[in-house]
Chains A and B, each alone.
Chain A
Amino acid sequence: EVQLLESGGGLVQPGGSLRLSCAASGFTFSNYAMSWVRQVPGKGLEWVSYTSGISTAEYYADSVQGRFTISRDSAKKTVYLQMNSLRDEDTAMYYCAREAVQFGEFPISLDHWGHGTLVTVSS
Chain B
Amino acid sequence: QSALTQPPSASGSPGQSVTISCTGTSNDIGNYNYVSWYQQHPGKAPKLMIYDVTKRPSGVPGRFSGSKSGNSASLTVSGLQAEDEADYYCSSYAGINHLVFGGGTKVTVL
Contact = CB atoms under 8 A, between A and B. Distances in A.
Given A44-B103, A111-B57, A59 B46 contact: no
Size category of the B interface is: 20 to 34
B89 interface: yes
B91 interface: yes
Contacts of B93: 106-108
A75 to B, nearest CB: 26
B78 to A, nearest CB: 22
Interface in B42-65: 45-48, 51-52, 57
Size category of the A interface is: 20 to 34
Interface of B: 1, 3, 34, 36, 38, 45-48, 51-52, 57, 89, 91, 93, 97-104
Given A62-B1, A109-B91, A111-B57, A47 B48 contact: no
18 contacts: A35-B99, A37-B46, A44-B3, A45-B38, A45-B89, A46-B101, A47-B98, A50-B97, A50-B99, A61-B1, A100-B48, A106-B93, A107-B99, A108-B36, A109-B51, A110-B48, A113-B45, A113-B46
B40 to A, nearest CB: 8
Given A62-B1, A109-B52, A47 B100 contact: yes
A44 B101 contact: yes
A115 B40 CA distance: 12
A114 B45 contact: yes
Interface of A: 35, 37, 44-47, 50, 57, 59, 61-62, 95, 97, 100, 106-111, 113-116
